[in-house]
A and B are shown apart, each in its own frame.
Chain A
Amino acid sequence: MANTKEIQSRIKSVKSTQKVTKAMEMVAASKMRKAIEAVLKTRTYANLSWGTVLNLSNAVNNNGQLHPLLAKKEKIKRVGIVLISSNRGLCGGYNVNIINKVHKSIQKHHHKGKLSEVEADFILLGKKGAAVNTYFNYNIAAEFPKLDAINELREVVPVAKMVIQDYLSGKYDKVMVAFTDFVSASKQIPRIKQLLPVDIESDKEELGIVGGDTRVGIDKNLVSEKQDKYLSGSPSVDAELENYRYNYIFEPNAKEVLDEMVPRLVEVQLYQALLESNASEHSARMQAMHKANDAAKDLVDELTLYFNKTRQASITAEIAEISAGANALR
């Protein structure tokens, strides 16, 4: 039986670890609250701007011209993936989940027919994303530093600029963003969304509208509602709207407006993805730390029981020895 001193020092070390995990849990909880707030604030803007671009692209479509950022490319050879991960570990399966998801979806592409020449380049946001290179040997095109507290759109502008430039120059035929969708404090889903070309068909899948948690006040119907009301001639809408919908005026002109608006939308979408990921990261960390805390508690209980047993055993042994000695002297 191990001696009591050894057990005692183990209990001590577990307890100090518990303190660390407890503190981290609380820090993560408060950061998560802020992150959720930020997500909610941006959602309205993201949804509305998406709705606007949706309207626009439909209107412009009818004139036969398409903005280069809205036009689909025929053959996809090279895909750029913006991977949003955390800077630090100790957040459970957060990074692993998103990286595996990306890996799987790339492999799926490879299996689909003869598309094996599709190449993927990674643009990393967050240090932990580097694992895609070390484990799966993917190419990393760029790495951007990610701040822990994100509260300004400005921080994603360089990333957005880079992907837009690379897309326009033809380096990538498609740009995706891999992020973790924040559904609720206990549920986060890794997702991959198409960023460029801005896909007007995927309106129900876009970033701003996510999850089903009422706590974060999601309006899933926003875009489809708008579409019904303003874009499709549904019976509930009067006939006047019918000829009304395609006659958009652009001031100063369509090209200039879209030139400003689409990159802005890409920025907002990226920003939203970043905020979602951030909220997810903190809640994942909070969960992981909560579990670690519980595990430490269990371990301390177990060790204490063992310690008590060992101590009692040694006392019993001592008494037995003494009484045996006394008996021998008699």
Chain B
Amino acid sequence: MPKKTIKFEIVTPERVVLKETITQVTVPTRAGEITVLPKHIPLVSILKPGVIEVKKEDDTLEVMSVSGGFIEVLRDKVVVLADTAERAEEIDVDRAEEARKRAEETKKNIIHKDDVRFADLSAKIEVELARTKAVKRWKKIKNI
């Protein structure tokens, strides 16, 4: 019996990050992390910054970081509309870590002054954290 698959597509306004036939995908939604398998019920949800894990047909894993967006699940198709997304192998982990530290530093300094900036920075920290996490996860899988 052929394996049941999902057509998976993740796009950002800038590019198509990944378009693959897969068997399962794990995404961080606002209500918590979910894993989608073939024949999932139609679902639409909001994503939060985090790590997306995709299992391809040949059982290899693909890891991506996402900074937010939406996921639409159809019967044999999953579409992720991400604000920004990167594949783990594309992320420079040192720079991501650095960017997060810098943002945290700035956040400490302005903590009582500007609400909008504070929120901006908090979001940025979350995104950078997601990127770092994605790389770590990917490295663990690949045993590097």
Q: Would A271 and B30 count as touching, CB distance under 8 A?
A: no
Per-residue CB contact flags for chain B residues 55-81 toward chain A (1 = under 8 Å, else 0) read 000000000000000101011000101
Q: Would B15 and A249 count as touching, CB distance under 8 A?
A: no
The residues of B that contact A52 with a CB separation of less than 8 Å are: 44, 70, 72, 79, 81
> Is B110 located at the chain interface by the 8 A CB criterion?
no
Q: How far is the CA of A153 from the CA of B42 in the complex (A)?
A: 28
Please tell me which one of the listed residues B15, B16, B42 contacts residue A244 in the complex, with CB atoms under 8 A apart: B42
The residues of B that contact A44 with a CB separation of less than 8 Å are: 11, 16
Q: Would A252 and B31 count as touching, CB distance under 8 A?
A: yes
Please tell me which one of the listed residues A49, A244, A251 contacts residue B45 in the complex, with CB atoms under 8 A apart: A251
Q: Is the interface of A mostly helix, strand, loop or mixed?
A: helix
Which stretch, A17-25, A162-170, A255-263, A297-305, touches the partner chain B? Answer: A255-263
Per-residue CB contact flags for chain B residues 87-98 toward chain A (1 = under 8 Å, else 0) read 000000000000
Give the number of residues in B that approach A within 8 Å (Cβ atoms): 23
Could you tell me which residues of chain A, from 49 to 63, have a CB within 8 Å of some CB in chain B? 49, 51-52, 55-56, 59
Given contacts A44-B16, A52-B70, A256 and B81 within 8 Å (CB-CB): no
Residue of B nearest to A253 (CB): B31
Q: Would B70 and A249 count as touching, CB distance under 8 A?
A: no
> Is B123 located at the chain interface by the 8 A CB criterion?
no
Residue of B nearest to A271 (CB): B13
Q: Would A257 and B44 count as touching, CB distance under 8 A?
A: yes
Q: How far is the CA of A18 from the CA of B29 in the complex (A)?
A: 58
Q: Would B44 and A56 count as touching, CB distance under 8 A?
A: yes
Q: How far is the CA of A249 from the CA of B42 in the complex (A)?
A: 6
Per-residue CB contact flags for chain B residues 20-54 toward chain A (1 = under 8 Å, else 0) read 00000000011100100000011111100000000
Inter-chain contact total with CB atoms closer than 8 Å: 73
Q: Would A48 and B81 count as touching, CB distance under 8 A?
A: yes
Q: Would A251 and B30 count as touching, CB distance under 8 A?
A: yes
The residues of A that contact B14 with a CB separation of less than 8 Å are: 41-42
> Is B126 located at the chain interface by the 8 A CB criterion?
no
> Is A248 located at the chain interface by the 8 A CB criterion?
yes
Q: How far is the CA of A247 from the CA of B40 in the complex (A)?
A: 11
Residue of A nearest to B19 (CB): A44
Q: Would B75 and A251 count as touching, CB distance under 8 A?
A: no
> Is B5 located at the chain interface by the 8 A CB criterion?
no
Q: How far is the CA of A244 from the CA of B44 in the complex (A)?
A: 14
Q: Would B41 and A247 count as touching, CB distance under 8 A?
A: yes
Please tell me which one of the listed residues A153, A241, A249 contacts residue B41 in the complex, with CB atoms under 8 A apart: A249
The residues of B that contact A306 with a CB separation of less than 8 Å are: none
Per-residue CB contact flags for chain A residues 102-130 toward chain B (1 = under 8 Å, else 0) read 00000000000000000000000000000
Q: Which B residues are closer than 8 A to A by beta carbons?
A: 9, 11-16, 29-31, 34, 41-46, 70, 72, 74-75, 79, 81
Known contacts A45-B12, A252-B31; 6 additional CB pairs below 8 A are A42-B14, A45-B11, A241-B75, A247-B41, A257-B44, A271-B13
22 contacts between A and B (CB under 8 A): A41-B13, A42-B13, A42-B14, A44-B16, A45-B11, A48-B9, A48-B11, A48-B81, A51-B79, A52-B44, A52-B70, A55-B72, A55-B74, A59-B42, A247-B41, A251-B30, A251-B31, A251-B46, A252-B46, A256-B46, A261-B44, A271-B13
